[in-house]
Structure formats: C-alpha cells, structure tokens
Amino acid sequence: MTKRYMLFYKPYDVLTQFSDRDPGGTKRRTLKDYIPVADVYPVGRLDRDSEGLLLLTNDGLLQHKLSDPKYQHERTYWVQVERIPDDAALNQLRIGVDIQDYRTRPAKVHLLPEDPQLPPRDPPIRFRKNVPTAWLEITLTEGRNRQVRRMTAAVGFPTLRLVRVTLAHLRLKGLEPGQWRDLTSTELKQLLSLCRL
C-alpha cells in the first residue's frame, strides 16, 4: 500500500471523521465531504466547532508518534477570546491551568498585536458591541479534548474562535477552508525525521 500524507484545512462545523454516526439522523459534514482519498485517517482531532490544520495519513506508526503526548510535538493555535486578557491570565496559561482532573503543561502564549489574516468563518462568531475581543497565539505540546477552550475559560476569557495553524513544522498557509494537498517531499522528509522514522 502506498503511504499518503496530506494536509487539510478543516472548516468550521465539520466532524474530524469520515462517517457520521448522529443517532438523531441529522446530516453533518464530515471529512468524506472534502477528501476523496480512501483509507487515510486524521492525526489527532479538531472539534466540530474548531478550524484549521489537520494531517491525514495511512502511516499508523507516524500517526501514533504525532498523537501520543509523550512525544510532545508542538501545535499552534490562533484563539479569539472574549475581552482582552491581562498579564495575570496570560501568565497562568503559560505555567499551566487546572482543568477537571489534570494540570495542563506549560504553554507558549502571547497576545497577537493585530487580528490574523483568516478567511471569514461561516457562520460568523457572535458579535457583542460592548464586549471587545482579542487574539492569542497558543502553542501546546499536548492535545487533550477541548483543551484550549477549557484553558481560556479557566482564566476567565472564553474562546470564540479557534484555528490550528501549525502542527510541528507543517503550516496552514496556502490552503483555504475545505482544501487539501499532499505534503511536499521536503515537508515529508522533515516529518519522518522528526518522528525518527
């Protein structure tokens, strides 16, 4: 079997799976609506209400090494939050936040000086005239379920929009929502080297 390595810009309101198991019978968009390639699977997940970079492959060992938290591969997110976080909140995110039954690992966090250049979200986030928003760049080495949203909520600044922009050295740049492409030979070589494959 030929190994495939693909990048996909997951749009908002798309499930990170190829089949829809909604017991209510409501049709939800899945990866199958965008990717006509058989037998590839996502490395990690993005929630239905999150957007951005997703790596898909049929290379099980690489998938394991990128998904397992013990390997600590970086993932970077642009996160739009309600209100403007103060230094105390940013520092708390950096050192770790208690969420449910665990404490998050230290993260790289900074306030973006201006809104990032992203395609508009469909539907747009709720707009509240009297509540400003800010964009953070957050880099994690773990990816627990809804972790970024839980982190920003824990310090008092709920997430409005969440876009993953990097996974290790792979970048979202050059793709529009719903588009995919194969990794370049340089990207693949770096990825295999990173995972010691």
47-87 pLDDT tens trace: 999 999 999 999 999 888 888 777 778 999 999 999 999 99
Nearest alpha-carbon partner for 136 in 82, 69, 55: 82
- Model confidence band, residue 155 (pLDDT cutoffs 50, 70, 90): very high
Percent of the chain exceeding pLDDT 70 equals 99
- What does the alpha-carbon distance between residue 140 and residue 42 come to, in Å, rounded to a whole number? 18
- Model confidence band, residue 96 (pLDDT cutoffs 50, 70, 90): very high
Ramachandran sector of residue 88 (left: φ over 0; alpha: ψ -120 to 50; beta: rest): alpha
* Four-residue CA torsion sign, 88, 99, 148, 108: positive
47 is catalytic: yes
pTM for the predicted model, two decimal places? 0.94
Which of 47, 68, 86, 182 is labelled catalytic?
47
Question: Environment class of residue 26 by beta-carbon count within 10 Å: exposed (0-12), middle (13-18) or buried (19+)?
Answer: exposed
